[in-house]
Amino acid sequence: MCRSAALASLFALSCLAAPVADLVVSPAGSDANPGTLEQPFATLTRARDAVRALGQPDRDVVVWLRGGEYRLGETVVFGLADGAAAGHTISYAAYPGEKPVFTSGVPVDGLATVGRAARRPSGRCPRQGLGGGCLRDPRPQGRPAGPEPRRG
């Protein structure tokens, strides 16, 4: 009886352990790291390159993506060379219970949300914000967009 209780406890603890992965990526990681759970890579590109270095593995490979925001400066391209051997898979998946977000958007500073006052006489917003309000350009009226004109 004690033996079965010990085995059940061991099984329960193994279910709570972190999932096994070949590679791990985290926004808080570093591409100089080995890509482990304790020392994850920082970028999807670095993980892809590490998988490529395996050649076409004759086993399944899992890359866990930890939660957080990943800013992409360029497109990450996967090709035929990034596949596994026949009958096996290479999976890139969100770490259980976490939400990785990949974005290539550029933050825009200086826009302010205003109420109905910013609407044009037609009743339409010149720029619609995510929250449904109108966005106002902070530049004074008549100031050209872009860099200041050269003087003299």
31-65 residue pLDDT tens: 999 999 999 999 999 999 999 998 888 889 999 99
CATH C-level class of 16-103: alpha beta
pTM for the model: 0.59
Residue 144 — pLDDT band, cuts 50, 70, 90? Answer: low
Sign of CA dihedral 113, 114, 116, 119: negative
- The predicted pLDDT at position 38 comes to 96
The residue ranges of every structural domain in the chain are 16-103, 108-138
Please say whether the beta carbons of 111 and 34 come within 8 A. Answer: no
Mean pLDDT of the chain: 76
- The predicted pLDDT at position 127 comes to 58
pLDDT digits (tens, 9 = 90+) for 62-72: 999 999 999 99
CA separation, residue 30 to residues 37, 48, 49, 55, 75 (Å): 12, 14, 14, 23, 19
Please say whether the beta carbons of 48 and 77 come within 8 A. Answer: no
Q: Which residue has the higher pLDDT, 103 or 134?
A: 103
